[in-house]
Amino acid sequence: MTRTLTLTAPPEQVEHLGFFRFGDVGGKVVITNDAGEWTLLERPDFQALLVDTLAPEHPKRAELVDKGFLRDGADLNQIAERVARKRRFLGQGPHLHIVITTLRCNQSCKYCHASRTDMDRVDTDMSMETAKKVVDMAMQTTSPYVNFEYQGGEPTVRFDVIQFVVDYSREKNRYEGKTLEHALVTNLTYMTEDKAEWLLANDVLLCTSLDGPAVVHNFNRTWRKGGEAFDRVLHWIRYFNRRYVEMGRDPELWHVDALMTTTRKTLEHWREVIDLYVELGIRNIHLRPLNPFGFANKTWRAIGYTPQEYLDFYARALDYVLELNKQGVQIIEGTASTFLKKMLTPDDPNFVDLRNPVGSGTGQIAYNFDGNIYPSDEGRMIAATGDQLFKLGDVFTSTYDEVVNHPTVKALAVASSLDSLPSCHTCWNAPFCGVRPLHNYMQSGDLFGQRPNTPKCTEHLTIARLLMSKLANDPDVEPIFRRWTIHRPRHESS
């Protein structure tokens, strides 16, 4: 994949130009800037822009001025405000607080990264004393919005810890006045009706893993105690979605979210995966590639694929999701939606893994079952291998200030700042991209491992190109893509 662009007449004067980066998208030149503004130009128009010969009546001129690509007539204050709005998350502090209630899990998935333990390992459960300290720490965040996310292992194995954190954080929030949300990431195979009704009554959002039809899901997500995980997951998705409707909730906002992890099996059954999501009324399918670490490293020969195979799958799946949308089916592809929020709206979705700088420690904090604190769940996984490089402290002896100002948090911010990373700083995709130093460290032992043309970089470039090309070439796509950027907060709708 090439990112070069040959200019026949390099500019001698640049004073008329605003700051921008440029590249190649579908035979046109894309120009982008830090406000997240972008446009596609024919090559002769780009040449004319550079040497300041673009005619005053050229149909692109007003847009180029408005977006700050041409200085003459541009409102610099307004452009500065747009840049500040895009980076608003920088001044907010961590909003995502991941609580590992236990490492115990009743499943043994082929790609598990979560350092799970067997069901008899009660020593990997979070104690109530630790849970209380976690809440005391998390509620000190300067972020006005706090999302407690329960993970494991299988977090519902210690349902009492979840209940305690929900109740205690709400009690504390009577004085803090933050917008508080709770989300449970569960495999749904340890669910009971009592637990389900408590989660519904307490507005705990649900996110599960659904890898596709039985042939894919049961292959990927092995259930250790026998039986078919797929049937249980479907039962509980239907149960929760039915109950939300019975409770009078808007199903567009209140439904079980599902994530899928792509394995070799998925590549064979990609259309059935999407059809299943549609059949279940799931409105967001988040296509995710396999990460080559954790158990997936050991099982890569059976479930892995090349980066190009994943991108071919992604393009096919995105086309099909768009085709369904054109037929009136409302289903969003999650990765595209994150990029589109950056490309088509004045805001950044503050998705901690695709942010500049990354959210590790500045947007999210992970609390392990034993009270140790990490900048993200990946930091906790690295610690499980015996490497405590990313430990920020613990809930018993560290202060909130020590954690968020830890030198490791600063190092991660520097290592993920696209404005200074070689090649990223000149890349046209920088306003929409993000790199993950902990991901790099897991793959290559180097925080700065993310270099152009690594699989992640290629994935991000390809997806951004795909979306821009669709917007440029198919007029029916823009209204669909704009719908994918709309975010209606659930807490205002119950």
List residues near ligand SF4 by CB under 6 A: 418, 423-424, 427, 429-430, 433, 435, 450, 452, 457, 460-461
Smallest gap from residue 118 Cβ to ligand SF4 (A): 38
Residue 260 parent element (H or E) = strand 257-261
> How far is residue 347's CA from residue 480's CA, in Å, rounded to a whole number?
18
Rounded Cα–Cα distance for residues 106 and 224 (Å): 6
Q: How far apart are CA 380 and CA 293, in angstroms?
A: 13
Cα–Cα distance, 152 to 366 (Å, whole number): 11
Nearer to ligand SF4, 98 or 424 (CB): 424
Supply φ then ψ for residue 454, to 5 degrees.
-70, 160
Nearest to ligand SF4 of 86, 255 (CB atom): 86
Q: Which is nearer to ligand SF4, 4 or 8 (CB)?
A: 4
| Token pair 């504390």 in the structure block, residue | 172
Question: Residue 184 or 424: which CB sits closer to ligand SF4?
Answer: 424
**Least distance in Å: CB of 432 to ligand SF4?**
8
Element (H, E) at 470: helix 455-473
Nearer to ligand SF4 among residue 263 and residue 450 (C-beta)? 450
What are the DSSP E strand ranges found in 301-419?
A: 332-333, 364-367, 372-374, 393-394
CB of 24: closest distance to ligand SF4 in angstroms?
13
Structural element, H or E, at residue 100: strand 96-100
Of 31 and 276, nearer to ligand SF4 (C-beta) is 31
Report the nearest approach of ligand SF4 to the CB of residue 450 (Å): 6
Q: How far is the CB of 163 from ligand SF4 (least distance, A)?
A: 41
Q: Is the dihedral of CA 40, 44, 47, 53 positive or negative?
A: negative
Residue 484 makes CB contacts below 8 A (sequence gap 6+) with 332, 333, 336, 337, 340
Question: 50 or 430: whose CB is closer to ligand SF4?
Answer: 430
Give the nearest distance from C-beta 160 to ligand SF4 in angstroms.
42
CB of 426 to ligand SF4, least distance (A): 8
